[in-house]
Amino acid sequence: MAFELPSLPYSTSALADVGMCQETLEIHHGKHHQAYVTALNGFVEKDSNLQGKTLEEIIHYSYNKPDIAPIFNNSGQILNHNIFWESMSPTGGKIPTKLEAKLTEDFGGVAQFKEAFKTAATTQFGSGWAWLVLAADGKLKVVKTPNAGSPLASGEGKILFVMDVWEHAYYLDFRNRRPDFTTNWLDKIANYEYAEANLATA
């Protein structure tokens, strides 16, 4: 079974009013994400070691193996984008009570959490991702990963949500201003209800 590009959970114009325009979503989902799916399907077709494996199994199988880095990069990017679309909402930015209490407990407050997330996002040199995870010690943690990396691959905790910091995620809307993209994303786009649901099943 070939991997497929999942539909967005909203229309490509749904986030335009909160800082992510239709063209960004059309290119990001329809071109970038689609290209990772097409590339991975090409590898699976030619490699019996990959056939019958789930996306997660392919990520674990190819992680930290330089000779098959393209397989990790494409499978990792598919997973990361699958989570990224769910991590956003046209009515984002509202933090539900249980998650707010946990953020306050583990970071000292919502403002401190946002500051930590912004630091991770802006200090990730080059391309990558900023994540909110539930770490093994039971505490919420902000993690950054380069390129196609993820906490799933590295074992750094259960994923609650993710923000894409590759330039293609923000260049049309914010040009080179990644800090502004991040602030806007946390305040207006981030789907904290999705994060809380993931926390509940952790």
Residues 6+ apart with CB under 8 A from 52: none
Alpha helix ranges (H) inside the chain: 22-27, 34-46, 55-62, 69-86, 97-107, 110-123, 151-154, 171-174, 178-184, 192-200
Q: Return residues touching Mn ion (CB under 5 A).
A: 164, 166
Q: Please, which residue, 13 or 34, has the CB nearer to Mn ion?
A: 34
- Shortest distance, position 104 Cβ to Mn ion, whole Å: 30
Q: Please, which residue, 18 or 99, has the CB nearer to Mn ion?
A: 18
- Shortest distance, position 9 Cβ to Mn ion, whole Å: 16
Q: Please, which residue, 117 or 170, has the CB nearer to Mn ion?
A: 170
- Shortest distance, position 184 Cβ to Mn ion, whole Å: 17
- Shortest distance, position 106 Cβ to Mn ion, whole Å: 27
Which H or E element spans position 164? Answer: strand 158-164
Q: Which residue is nearest to Mn ion (CB)?
A: 164
- Shortest distance, position 200 Cβ to Mn ion, whole Å: 27
Residue reference for tokens 């000292």: 108
- Shortest distance, position 202 Cβ to Mn ion, whole Å: 25
Which residue type occupies 149?
Answer: G
Q: Please, which residue, 63 or 166, has the CB nearer to Mn ion?
A: 166
Q: Please, which residue, 161 or 166, has the CB nearer to Mn ion?
A: 166
How far apart CA 88 and CA 191 sit, in angstroms, is: 5
Q: Please, which residue, 115 or 171, has the CB nearer to Mn ion?
A: 171
162 strand-pairing partners = 131
Residue reference for tokens 């290209």: 35
Residues 6+ apart with CB under 8 A from 190: 87, 88, 89, 92, 93, 161, 163
